[in-house]
Amino acid sequence: MVVGAASLGVEAAVTATDAWVRGTVPAQHATGAFLTLRSTEDAKLVGVATPAAKNAQIHESSMAGGMMHMHAVDFVALPAGKAIELKPGGYHIMLMELTADLRAGDSIDLTLTFEKAGEVKITAEVRAS
């Protein structure tokens, strides 16, 4: 199911599917959002925003020296025609300074910003943590 699409040009498009957010427990201030992106032409995810958090960033998790590390990145490259999964343990969206608890069954709005393609507004389902 396509939850959002942006036009890159006359025939190119970016689609976002399978969007979900990890639910939180009381007093938890951050969580992750995950989805699959596909573009018909080379593109980049360069930003994200949501009313559910004061701060949203694109992050990458990677293993280094036997330890998992997470850090913010400036973009996620979307090679033409290839599905790029933002998932736990890889690229993902960090939602920090949450404005409310996120409970399974809720949903939140996300605005994804793509270089050249502009913004795509999607809705992500909150799933149990």
Q: Which H, E and C letters describe 101-118, residue by residue?
A: CCCCCCEEEEEEEECCCE
Q: Which CATH number belongs to the domain containing residue 106 in this structure? A: 2.60.40.1890
Q: What is the pLDDT of residues 24-58, one digit of tens each?
A: 999 999 999 999 999 999 999 999 999 999 999 99
Number of structural domains the chain divides into: 1
Of 14, 35, 50, 45, the C-alpha closest to 87 is 35
* Bridge partners of residue 2, in order along the sequence: 17
Q: Which domain holds residue 40?
A: 2-127
- Rounded Cα distance between 71 and 106, Å, is 27
Summary mean pLDDT of the chain = 90
Report the Cα 70 to chain-centroid distance in Å. 15
**pLDDT tier, 6 (very low <50, low <70, confident <90, very high otherwise):** low
Residue 2 confidence (pLDDT) above 50:
no
